[in-house]
Amino acid sequence: MKATTSENSIFPKGQQGSPDWFTGTVRVTPLLAKDKNNDFSIGNVVFEPGARTHWHTHPRGQVLLVMEGNGFYQEQGKPARSLKKGDVVNIPENTVHWHGASANSLLAHIAITNYKGSENVSWLKPVTDHEYSKVNE
Ligand code: MN
């Protein structure tokens, strides 16, 4: 069954993510900031159907824990990987990729993002509607 409204009430509803970084409606709830012991941040991200990140990289990688719904993870030049509840994605460092919901389901994931110094992400171009429609075929 495809979820189109988030039933993930574990975490508070987040703020709308910036259109500089996301396409569509994406809500981000920061859960843990980098601190003296933890060289990573943790956030919960909920993508409405059709919503996705822009292409981006992480200097020391990222781990996604899929909590709800269906979506995709794609590295540049590779086929997209379908995502469902319970999936874990271990994203390598400096690898151009995007993640987001499928066209007809939301996707909720926790993101654990490692830092290199003060940086944990570098944003690139939006995923075009053409690129996005190809992975939804
Ligand atoms: Mn990422």
How remote is the CA of residue 8 from the centroid of ligand 1, in Å?
Answer: 20
Q: Please count the structural domains in the chain.
A: 1
Query: Would 20 be classed as within a structural domain?
Result: no
**Which CATH number is 128's domain given?**
2.60.120.10
How does residue 1 score in pLDDT terms, banded at 50, 70 and 90? Answer: very low
- 56-57 and 52-53: which strand pairing? unpaired
How remote is the CA of residue 67 from the centroid of ligand 1, in Å?
Answer: 16
Mean pLDDT of 64-78: 97
Residues with CB under 5 A from ligand 1 (ion): 62
How high is the pLDDT of residue 10?
86
pLDDT of residue 5 exceeding 70: no
How remote is the CA of residue 116 from the centroid of ligand 1, in Å?
Answer: 14
Which pLDDT tens digit goes with each residue over 19-48? Answer: 999 999 999 999 999 999 999 999 999 999
Query: Would 8 be classed as within a structural domain?
Result: no
